[in-house]
Structure 1
Amino acid sequence: MTAVIVEDEFAAVQNLERLLKSIDENIDILAVLQNVDESIEWFSTNAMPDVVFMDIHLADGDSFSIFKSVDIRCAIIFTTAYDQYALKAFEVNSIDYLLKPISKKSLEKALDKLENFSPNNNNSDVIAQIMKSIHQVNKTHKKSFLIPVKDKLIPVSADDIAFIYSQNKKAVITCFNKRDYTMDTSLDDFLKQLDPDLFFRANRQFIISHRAVADLSMWFDGKLAVNLSMPTPERIIVSRARSTDFKKWYMRTDD
């Protein structure tokens, strides 16, 4: 079996490759593609694999835009952190999906479905239905992250994150249990994956959880100092220009 992986998270790629090899050591992974443009170029110049594992959310856009430029006529298994109730379209079509973090059992089940897939299938109608289903959902942000820690991959729920800060061009995740995890990514990329109702980019160094905010203090020149319910590496200051937006976010009420 030949496969292509479209995924921009290094840890997720490692996990998927490990699981695939544990199921079938003869599987040939032809390419790992990290963004939309790279994927379009590869599928435009190479023969179709047997299966594509494709993350829905990529750094430069959603993966559905790939299908606007190339006709991928092979089995596609999406990997996603979207809520399963938003993805009913997958269940009634030949394309399957896997919720992150991916388990060996769910991967085996998806691969079993490949036996019934016809290489002549046209994915365009299925993709359109999936996009419609997803766009109807308000909450389409990640609910958990798979974080590499030594030789393991640790799932961390977004609900458990108190704040994220930048250190040496990496993102350090601090949870409410005071455990820290480091990811080789920028705060900008991390912010795109978080629910803006729950997280706010306070400044260049910090993304903070609404649940972690204890209170606010007036600071110099109209700025705000944000006090969290747990210690932080340095004081969190919101600029005067962003203070109004922050207050609106902080004072929001849940439905």
Structure 2
Amino acid sequence: MKILIIEDEDLAVKKLQKTLATVDTTANVVGIADSIKGSVEWLTANPSPDLILMDIELADGQSFEIFNLIDIKCPVIFTTSYDEYALKAFKVNSVDYLLKPIQNDELQAALEKFKKLSSTYKPTDNSLEKIVKELQQKLQPKEYRKRFLVKYSAKLVSIEVKDICYFYSDGRLNFFKTPDNKRYAVDYTMDELEEMLEPEHFFRISRAFYVSVGCITKIEDYFGNRLVLLLNPTVDKEAIVSREKVTDFKKWMGK
């Protein structure tokens, strides 16, 4: 089994080589590359290996860029320090991943999985391309909304998200307020806003309210195991944290 290691840390390379020799006597490391540029050069100059062990974060960028520069025709096992839960879904796909520090039993299991798949893996499969794109979306920071263009006094104004205190529903319309107590209508549903707003700064306490951490002045117990918030500026509606949101809200406020 011919293996290419793409890894920019010397100690990690040595550990991988040692672990491979321990868990699989058929493993033969035919090449080592430590960058996007070096990986492309190696893959261009050499026959395709049977398998690539590929670190995600390299010195000159994320290894996903390699897939944009050259057609990789063999399975890839990613190695990464990213959180397990963000990558859990990829355990069931033909491309596996290993969390650093890499454990012997996990590498052995990944190699066994590769061997089972190798007989059916075809260069024309689009599974690798699909999984790389999904993995890239998981790991790259999401872009959140930075401003809203809204109508106010018969003109359009741009409001920075950092200057918004909270969003709320009033009848069929949704609004947000700024610290100067001005109210602006926004042409998005609460579900759409949930996808746009940075969860570090905004929390959806109910179907009708999305609040900023900096505008909460007081938190009080409310009947039905709920909470009620006092906000600044004030709002005509009660800002109630629904029962199913209370636990997550407390964690969010305690960050």
TM-score by length of 1: 0.52
**Which sections of structure 1, spanning at least 5 residues, go unmatched?**
139-252
Shift in Å, 1:89: 4.1
**Equivalent residue runs for 1:209-248 within 5 Å:** none
* Deviation by residue 1:35-69 (Cα, 9 ceiling, x = unmatched): 00010111122211111000000000000000001
- Identity among equivalent positions (%) equals 40
Shift in Å, 1:136: 5.0
CA distance 1:7–1:108, change in 2 (3 Å): same
**Which residue is 1:96 aligned to?**
96
**Which residue is 1:109 aligned to?**
109
- Give 1:87's aligned amino acid: L
**Which residue is 2:130 aligned to?**
125
CA distance 1:24–1:60, change in 2 (3 Å): same
* Deviation by residue 1:210-254 (Cα, 9 ceiling, x = unmatched): xxxxxxxxxxxxxxxxxxxxxxxxxxxxxxxxxxxxxxxxxxx97
Q: Distance in 1 between matches of 2:81 and 2:254?
A: 23
- Give 1:66's aligned amino acid: I
SS of the residue aligned with 2:32? Answer: strand
Q: Distance in 2 between matches of 1:124 and 1:63?
A: 13
SS of the residue aligned with 1:87? Answer: helix
Q: Distance in 2 between matches of 1:10 and 1:19?
A: 14
Shift in Å, 1:15: 0.6
* Deviation by residue 1:188-216 (Cα, 9 ceiling, x = unmatched): xxxxxxxxxxxxxxxxxxxxxxxxxxxxx
- Give 1:126's aligned amino acid: I
SS of the residue aligned with 1:44? Answer: helix
CA contact (8 A) 2:56 2:80 kept: yes
Q: Distance in 1 between matches of 2:61 and 2:28?
A: 27
SS of the residue aligned with 1:72? Answer: coil
- Give 1:80's aligned amino acid: T
- Report how many aligned residue pairs link the two structures: 141
**Equivalent residue runs for 1:1-255 within 5 Å:** 1-114=1-114, 115-117=116-118, 118-120=121-123, 121-122=125-126, 123-135=128-140, 255=255
**Which sections of structure 2, spanning at least 5 residues, go unmatched?**
144-252
Q: Distance in 1 between matches of 2:142 and 2:56?
A: 14
Shift in Å, 1:26: 3.4
- Of structures 1 and 2, the larger Rg is shown by 2
**Which residue is 2:171 aligned to?**
none
Q: Distance in 1 between matches of 2:142 and 2:109?
A: 26
SS of the residue aligned with 2:3? Answer: strand
CA contact (8 A) 1:54 1:79 kept: yes
